[in-house]
Amino acid sequence: MRCAVISDIHANLAALDAVLADIGEQAEAIWCLGDIVGYGPDPNECVARLQERGIVSVAGNHDWACLGKLDLADFNLDAREACRWTAEQLSEASRAFLEGLPLSLVFDEWTLVHGSPREPIWEYLTSPGAVLENLPFLQTRLCLVGHTHVPLAFHVPDGETLTCRRRWLLDGDELSLQSGRWILNPGGIGQPRDGDPRAAYLLVDTETLAAEMRRVPYPVETTQRRMLEAGLPANLIQRLSFGW
């Protein structure tokens, strides 16, 4: 099965729609790694898109924070303000959908979490050492994580417990996942943080075990205009132009 892996939509509808158009008929299923809302201007519309397209998702820290399930004191000022705004906007239907999101999902060889296998909501998986520490918490050979908004691949070769290779993923990069253990991060749809403002996602084939990184341009200024109208923090509006 061809599967599109998306993460960290952050209520950026223009970016989500551009990615859904790019996916088109290329994938039979779409898996989402959480942070559907928070930061961006269109939380209800993004939740509705997921429901319309039958996209399965796990919960992210921003989804929980906007539901009041996390203490906002752990967020920086801009994130806190955006969360409060989002909480006011969420419809009953959106709220119910977000409440129903699990912390992790497992499909055959694949585990889906927002942060990491040991800390699904909070941990940022950025270093090979942290990946090695997470392996005992991972029941499958392959794992998909989001949360950092940076596209990355970690590979632990067969028989190794102390070696993990890290690779940044660029547009068009392809991987073969046939041996060893892999943790892949598709980057972010709605707020990329690797210096490339284009929305990021990953295509995986669960039979051939191939993965392909994809970047998609979207009308950033449409999202920025909506954020300005909503009175969301200037920093959050600015950063979308640069992808940081």
Question: In this chain, which of 3, 4, 5, 8 binds Zn ion, going by CB under 5 A?
Answer: 8
CB of 51 to Zn ion, least distance (A): 20
Total residues in contact with Zn ion, by rule CB under 5 A: 2
Looking at 34-42, 75-83, 85-93, 200-208, which segment touches Zn ion (CB under 5 A)? 34-42
The stretch among 30-38, 125-133, 212-220, 229-237 that binds Zn ion (CB under 5 A) is: 30-38
Give the shortest CB-97-to-Zn ion separation in angstroms. 17
Q: What is the DSSP string of the chain?
A: -EEEEE---TT-HHHHHHHHHHHTTS-SEEEE-S--SSSSS-HHHHHHHHHHTT-EE---HHHHHHTT-S-GGGS-HHHHHHHHHHHHH--HHHHHHHHT--SEEEETTEEEESS-SSSTTT----SHHHHHHHGGG--SSEEE--SS-SEEEEEE-TT-SS--EEEE--TT-EEE-SSSEEEEEE--SSS--SS--SEEEEEEETTTTEEEEEEE---HHHHHHHHHHHT--HHHHHHHHHT-
Query: Would you say 64 or 110 has its CB closer to Zn ion?
Result: 64
Q: Cβ of residue 153: shortest distance to Zn ion, in angstroms?
A: 19
Report d(CA 4, CA 31) in Å as an integer.
6
> Least CB distance from residue 59 to Zn ion, whole Å?
11
**Min. distance of Cβ 35 from Zn ion in angstroms?**
4
Q: Report in angstroms how near the CB of residue 46 gets to Zn ion at its nearest.
A: 13
Q: Which is nearer to Zn ion, 94 or 185 (CB)?
A: 185
Which residue of 35, 81, 194, 196 would you call a contact of Zn ion, by CB under 5 A? Answer: 35
Task: Mark residues 135-154: x for contact with Zn ion by CB under 5 A, - for none.
Answer: --------------------
Which span (4-12, 50-58, 90-98, 231-239) binds Zn ion, by CB under 5 A?
A: 4-12
Indicate the residue among 181 and 191 with the shorter CB distance to Zn ion. Answer: 191
Those residues whose C-beta lies under 8 Å from the C-beta of residue 73, and which sit 6 or more positions away, are none
Binding site for Zn ion (CB under 5 A): 8, 35
